[in-house]
Amino acid sequence: MIVIEIEKPGGPEVLKVVDRQRRRPGPGEVLIRVIASGVNRPDVQQRRGLYPPPPGASDIPGLDVAGIVEEVGEGVETLQVGTPICALVNGGGYAELCLAPAVQCMPIPRGLSFIEGASLPEVFFTAWNNLIWLARLAEGETLLIQGGASGVGMAGIQIARHLRRATVFATAGTPQKREICLSVGATAAFDYRGAWDDEIRDQTHGLGVDVVLDGQAGPRTQRQLDLLKPDGRLVFIASHDGETAEVNIRSLVRRRLTITGSTLRPRPAEYKGRLARELVAQVWPLIEDGRIKTYIHQAVDFHQVRDAHAILDDNRQIGKVVLVVDPTMAATVPEPLPALQLT
Ligand SMILES: NC(=O)c1ccc[n+]([C@@H]2O[C@H](COP(=O)([O-])OP(=O)(O)OC[C@H]3O[C@@H](n4cnc5c(N)ncnc54)[C@H](OP(=O)(O)O)[C@@H]3O)[C@@H](O)[C@H]2O)c1
């Protein structure tokens, strides 16, 4: 099978198309014939040598795919050969064939193509895991999403708006990206290089926000804590601007603030399976009726993977970049499945 390998840490030029031995699914796994594969920020970090795969995971990049079940492992009763699915995978998505735990497979929401299906898992799992499970975002709360025009950001804005009726503030680096944040449901969007905290204080009559979702960390950490209301939660999903920060503990204690964070990739299949079931039950119906949307910045041919990574390196994307592995099928909308029961 053809796969994309990271030859050594570096720029997009280290991505190489190579041939590898096909693998068989183990117990509880399926082998997916990949039609489209999502490109996510963690793939770029892995290519740069900054985010090594956890023990036991594939060294091939790619954390989400859409395709057709090719082979079913022992004990998998819910999926059959030929079923169209999208899946969160533990690596290995940049390939013609990819293994996935069956519990991490989901139906492609009705009316979406394989390209759109591949754009969903990583960003919606991450947004749900961090906003709903970790931050416990409650009905009607106020939220700040830093980097709102990212894949995770746009998923998060929509989940917060439609499933928690939250007031969402966002930041983004360009006027066009701030406009996109507003179009998916943010109340206001600001330049993250400016006085976003003062602007949000103004707009909330000095109250601030209940939750901040941030992937940068570093020097702005205290500004984010200062913006939280009492009992507020600051959730980190990465630390691109610095792994350490000095914070005022007295202020944190006085206002009962929580600082937390997570990475999805090392979590066990059982955990990801529970996330999958919640997404299918609560988010997929809103995608199917058009209230929640996925935004494809560009679908890029598998063999042009370096171009796909260059887009993310320059932060040119709004929403998702997707690799087209099978161009004959990628834009096809698969037949809706009878309710797919996940194990
Ligand atoms: N913890 C997890 O499990 C997990 C999983 C997946 C992703 N992530 C993280 O989630 C974030 C989004 O991932 P993605 O794949 O959706 O990313 P993406 O589409 O590649 O977007 C990255 C975003 O970061 C924004 N950004 C850059 N500098 C910023 C700053 N100083 N302040 C605020 N935003 C800034 C960019 O905004 P502009 O383009 O407007 O500059 C861009 O929208 C990344 O930090 C990624 O590492 C975490």
Per-chain mean pLDDT for the chain: 96
Q: What is the pLDDT of residues 124-136, one digit of tens each?
A: 999 999 999 999 9
Instruction: Specify if 335 maps to a domain.
Output: no
CB of 155 within 6 A of ligand 1: the answer is no
Structural domain includes residue 174: yes
CB 243 within 8 A of CB 220: no
Domain extent at residue 206 = 124-261
CA 44 to centroid of ligand 1, rounded, Å: 11
**Ligand 1 mean position to 193 CA, how many Å?**
15
Atom of ligand 1 nearest to the CA of 177: 40
- Sign of the torsion formed by the C-alpha atoms of 111, 112, 113 and 117: negative
State the pLDDT at residue 336.
Answer: 75
- Structure token digits, residue 208: 């601030």
State the CATH number of the domain containing residue 172.
Answer: 3.40.50.720
Q: What is the pLDDT of residue 123?
A: 97
- CA 108 to CA 104: how far, in whole Å? 12
The confidence score (pLDDT) of residue 160 equals: 98
Give me the pLDDT at residue 189, please.
98
152 within ligand 1 shell (Cβ under 6 A): yes
Backbone angles phi, psi at 86, to 5 degrees: -120, 155
Residue 89 lies in a domain: yes
From the CB of 92, is ligand 1 less than 6 Å away?
no
- Quick check: CB of 298 below 6 Å from ligand 1? no
190 and 103 share one domain: no
Check pocket membership of 10 for ligand 1, CB cut-off 6 A.
no
pTM of structure: 0.96
Distance 2 CA to ligand 1 centre (A): 29
pLDDT tens-digit readout, 162-173: 999 999 999 999
Question: Do both 250 and 139 map to the same domain?
Answer: yes
Instruction: Indicate the SS3 state at residue 25.
Output: coil
Q: Is residue 343 part of a domain?
A: no
Say yes or no: 221 and 291 in one domain: no
SS3 106: strand
Give the count of beta carbons closer than 10 Å to the beta carbon of residue 74: 9
My answer on whether 129 and 88 are in the same domain is no
What is the pLDDT at residue 343? 41
Pocket of ligand 1 contains residue 150 by CB under 6 Å: yes
Cα distance between the two ends of the chain = 28
Q: How far is CA 313 from CA 10, 40, 92, 309, in A?
A: 11, 11, 21, 6
- List pLDDT tens digits, range 44-91: 999 999 999 988 899 999 999 999 999 999 999 999 999 999 999 999
CB 145 within 8 A of CB 185: no
What is the number of domains present in the chain? 2
Distance 215 CA to ligand 1 centre (A): 6
Collect the ranges in the chain with pLDDT lower than 50: 343
Q: In this structure, which residue's CA is closest to atom 44 in ligand 1?
A: 215
